Amino acid sequence: MFNMTALLKRLVIGRAMRSEELHETLLPKRLALPIFASDPLSSVAYATQEILLVLTLGGLTYLHFTPWIAAAVVALMTVVVLSYRQVVYAYPSGGGSYEVASTNLGPSAGLVVAASLLVDYVMTVAVSVASGVDNVISALPELAPHRVLMAVGFVAVLTAINLRGVRESGRAFAAPTYLFIGSVLIMVVTGLIRYAFGDAPVAESAAYGIAPQPSDAHLAGLALVMLVLRAFSSGCTALTGVEAISNGVPAFRKPKSRNAAATMAAMGTIAVVMFVGVTTLALISKVHLTDDACRLTGLEADCGSYTQRTVIAQVAAAVFGGEHSIGFFVVQAATALVLILAANTAFNGFPMLASILSRDRYLPHQLHNRGDRLAFSNGILALAVVAGVLLWGYKANVTSLIHLYILGVFTSFTLSQLGMVRHWNQELRTERDPVLRRRHHSARAINALGGCVTGLVLVIVLATKFTEGAWLAVLAATVLYVMMRGIHRHYDTTSEELAVSDPAAELTSPSRVLAIVLVARLHKPTMRALAYARAAHPDHLEALNVSVDRDEAADLREQWDAYGIDVPLKVVDSPYREVTRPVVEYVRAIRRESPRDIVAVFIPEYVVGHWWENLLHNQSALWLKSRLLFTPGVMVTSVPWQLTSSARANRPVGRAPGSVRRGEPRGPASGERRSGTKGR
């Protein structure tokens, strides 16, 4: 079982890498772009769609606000990209918004940023994968009933690829990302050329109109403002993932800051061009989109399970000549792939940020450990599990998930930019070089503008999305914040408690060491435990048996005397057939009589080779050890006895039972002991 698991792990993840090979995982710009920027690049596939969905709620006449909303999103993205380029240069060690806020605004602000980003990374995986599945279904509608299973399956595939390491995932994701960029740009150029020559593409939903509804009314005043602001906040999904590059600067090749800044500039330029192109073509081809597709058709009684295609699917079909054209399938395949792979931005950002938080003792230490392929495996697995549960709970529905989205990212945007303003203020207090001072003033102005704009957007997003589901994201971030504070407090308390203040006092030997060997029956594991306990030379050694059956206890006593074992055997009656409580009470009684003595308890333990063998042996020792560990002054030692099945299971795959490799010592091999069944 162990060898099969190890073999499967190697097939999925690959060979283990030495720590010294970490430099080999550093990324050139051509691989860093698809790894860290796939989320903001892919968001053009649904950002336009979200704007149109909201505006259509008021009626098709309100679609004329789309260009202005798109222009506002583009301006915001430009400001954010310029602002984060300053972060990359100022904080090249990674950590991004969290480090900026923690350093300049204090630990509490840093934790707010961290909690918001962790929630947003989870949402990035859920929304990206769900949107990718939507595009698959747009091309193959018969797959619609399998939406959730497909989404969870894609998360599992992404997890396996990322466990192979950052560089491996970059190679796997580079081709789909560049295919998406190329196919969208070709679609935009082709559509604009057709429009320029008087052959404007027409979307399949261009003729749809909203069927008259009693509740429909002309929007004006505050209602109109709220509609436009809500559409703008939905369109701001185009900015998700922009900060990921600032978190991953250490993963770049040298010069790290310069390469990261160049990658961020390329990401911003490409994302803006594609977003503007898709939005322009959606307006030219007159895409009409709504949550209630039947309402658009005006055929509520006959539409049945009608599902409307995504915006990018309708534009591709209009530009390339229909849903059966090669161009349509290329765009849909590339879009579906890149949307699913866009989750990779979170698969790199979440583990990296979790590792930094773990280093600062705000998350469990296990999240700071690197796996076999030098990736932060525990963070990757944690992200996959939470995102999978979210997709399952929300049935992989983009419209439902989108309301929980982008709140966290704008929280981090705002606080990090305010932190950068304070950073430049501190630099200007000490800097005397006039050239550098001018640069610092320019950088401060950029970050101040970014902080004001993103703060305003944060208020808009919170106001327009809070009641529609964003409150769940706020609640999740709040719970995470409180949990991280509690973890940090626990680690601080533990460190203080474990700190050595008087080495001489800590090294004082106990008055005596009293050893107890637990005996269920007289067999080889018991004899080994007795021999090991004797070799430790305790001041007093005795064997302890808990009697649940008087006849068995008498037989054990008779056998003990017949073998001439010179270790006293103590038998404790257990009228209620318990084993753990009598042992614990006996040990505690010894401790009460001699509080300065140490009690060492030796427990014989079976080690088996197959998982099903664990079910065939008594597990009372496991519970017994867990109880004894809470008793001060008690040391618990397991004395393993390897059964034949464990020796077979531990044999390397493909080796004969008696074979020995050249240079390998003969005899029992040392290695990590398998967790097995414990005898009483």
Kindly list the averaged pLDDT for each block of 10 residues, start to end, along the chain of length 680. 55 54 66 79 80 76 83 88 84 78 91 90 86 78 87 88 68 81 93 92 77 47 76 79 76 85 90 92 85 46 54 90 86 83 79 88 85 74 92 82 72 87 89 87 87 84 76 88 94 87 77 91 91 93 91 90 91 85 92 89 85 67 85 90 73 48 40 37
Contacts of 401 (CB under 8 A, 6+ apart): 123, 126, 127, 130, 390, 394
Burial label, 485 (beta-carbon count in 10 A; 0-12, 13-18, 19+):
middle
pLDDT of residue 40: 80
Token duo for residue 597: 């003595």
Kindly tell me the sign of the dihedral angle through the C-alpha atoms of 274, 33, 133, 378: negative
What is the helix (H) or strand (E) element at residue 326, kind and residue range? helix 326-359
Residue 636's φ and ψ, nearest 5 degrees, are: -115, 125
Nearest of 383, 456, 333, 610 to residue 80 by alpha carbon: 456
pLDDT of residue 290: 65
Pairing of strands 634-642, 598-607: parallel
Nearest of 449, 420, 411 to residue 91 by alpha carbon: 420
Note whether 354 and 363 are within 8 A (CB).
Answer: yes
What b/e sequence results for 300-321 when a residue is b if at least 16 CB atoms lie within 10 Å of its CB, and e otherwise?
A: eeebeeeebbbbbbbbbbbbbe
Q: pLDDT by residue (tens digit) across 99-157?
A: 888 989 999 999 999 998 898 888 888 888 887 788 788 778 888 888 899 999 989 98
Burial label, 626 (beta-carbon count in 10 A; 0-12, 13-18, 19+):
exposed
Q: Peptide bond preceding 255: is omega within 30 degrees of 0, i.e. cis?
A: yes
Quote the CA–CA distance of 304 and 676 in Å, as a whole number.
57
Q: Where are the domains of the chain?
A: 25-210+242-491, 508-650
pLDDT of residue 543: 95
Q: Count CB neighbours of 651 within 10 A.
A: 15
Helix axes 222-235, 66-90, angle to 10 degrees: 50
pLDDT of residue 14: 55
pLDDT of residue 1: 47
Quote the CA–CA distance of 350 and 333 in Å, as a whole number.
27
| pTM to 2 decimal places | 0.71
pLDDT of residue 433: 86
Nearest of 239, 567, 254, 291 to residue 412 by alpha carbon: 239
Residue 161's φ and ψ, nearest 5 degrees, are: -65, -40
Q: What phi-psi label fits residue 18: left (phi over 0), alpha (psi between -120 and 50 degrees) or beta?
A: beta
Q: Are 25-210+242-491 and 508-650 the same fold in CATH?
A: no
Question: At 323, which amino acid appears?
Answer: E
Contacts of 73 (CB under 8 A, 6+ apart): 47, 232, 235, 236, 238, 239, 275
Sheet of 634-642: strand order equals 569-573, 540-547, 513-518, 598-607, 634-642
CATH fit for domain 508-650, picks 1.10.1240, 2.60.40, 3.40.50, 2.60.120 = 3.40.50
Quote the CA–CA distance of 47 and 67 in Å, as a whole number.
13
Q: pLDDT by residue (tens digit) across 573-596?
A: 888 788 888 999 999 999 888 888
3-state DSSP assignment of residue 252:
strand
> Where does 25-210+242-491 sit in CATH, by number?
1.20.1740.10
